């Protein structure tokens, strides 16, 4: 199994979106990322990125599907797509993967409909769902309706937007961008534990430049 992060851009996030005491005028640098899980038989994208980002200044940007294909992975190679939540920057480029099976939480389907290609097979989940051995989609429903994380091998956690900044976890401060504060607090309390290798979807330090970086790899037995 291999986990690769893909960076396709940088932007600025108002501090108040990350922290309830944050200021509107203060902007935090963040990266735009999506991820690829490769197993023996499947290539699974976790979110797909966006071709446009209304309301945000793109400091640099490249179409995410181009970043993927420049790494040697063709869009037609993708067997599955997990959508952590149906916000534009995580689902906009889904149209490039019309041959894939898409997994999304039932409560996020309403918001996702306009992004779904007609030919795509959609599997709506409502609870913990193992789509491949040791690849589990886990609903958190803190950031938005039906928002999820993905857990690999029990402790590698793809956090979606359940938290924006590392400080949300280290200081146990739930994100200000939350539709359910109680669920967001439960998330930070659990996944700040040292047992977990937490990976943030907007971490500006994860991948230096536009392109890809292998984050985790193990030989399948």
**Chain segment 184-202, per-residue pLDDT in tens:** 999 999 999 999 999 999 9
Write the secondary structure of the chain as one string of H (helix), E (strand) and C (coil): CEEEEEEEEEEEEEHHHHCCCCCCCCEEEEEEEEEEEECCCCEEEECCCCCCCCCCCCCEECCHHHHHHHCCCCHHHCCEEECCCCCHHHHHHHHHHCCCEEEEEHHHHHHHHHHCCCCCEEEEECCCEEEECCEEEEECCCCCCCCEEEEECCCEEECCCCCCCHHHHHCCCCCCCCCCHHHHHHHHHHHCCCCCEEECCCCCCCCCCCEEEEEEECCCC
**Chain segment 168-180, per-residue pLDDT in tens:** 999 999 999 999 9
Whether 221 shows a pLDDT value over 60: the answer reads no
**Chain segment 5-17, per-residue pLDDT in tens:** 999 999 999 999 9
**Chain segment 79-127, per-residue pLDDT in tens:** 999 999 999 999 999 999 999 999 999 999 999 999 999 889 999 999 9
Q: What percent of the chain shows pLDDT beyond 90?
A: 96
For the question of whether the overall pTM of this predicted structure is more than 0.85, the answer is yes
Mean pLDDT (whole number) for 144-167 = 97
């Amino acid at each position: 199994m291999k986990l690769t992060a893909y960076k396709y851009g940088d932007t600025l996030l108002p501090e108040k979106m990350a922290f309830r005491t944050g200021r509107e005028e203060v902007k935090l640098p963040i990266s735009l990322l999506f991820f690829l899980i490769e197993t023996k038989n499947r290539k699974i994208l976790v979110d797909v990125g966006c071709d446009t980002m209304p309301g945000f200044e793109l400091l640099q940007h490249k179409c995410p599907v181009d970043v993927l294909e420049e790494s040697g992975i063709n869009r037609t190679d993708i067997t599955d797509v997990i959508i952590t939540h149906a916000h534009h920057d995580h689902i906009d480029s889904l149209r490039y993967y019309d041959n894939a099976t898409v997994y999304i939480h039932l409560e996020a389907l309403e918001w996702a409909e306009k992004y779904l290609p007609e030919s795509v097979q959609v599997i709506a989940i409502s609870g913990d769902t193992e789509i491949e051995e040791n690849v589990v989609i886990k609903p958190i429903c803190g950031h938005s309706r039906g928002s999820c994380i993905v857990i690999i091998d029990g402790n590698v956690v793809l956090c979606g937007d359940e938290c924006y900044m590392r400080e949300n976890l280290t200081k146990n401060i739930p994100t200000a961008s939350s539709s359910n504060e109680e669920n967001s607090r439960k998330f930070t309390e659990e996944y700040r534990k040292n047992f977990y290798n937490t990976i943030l979807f907007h971490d500006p330090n994860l991948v230096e430049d536009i392109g890809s970086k292998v984050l985790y790899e193990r030989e399948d037995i």
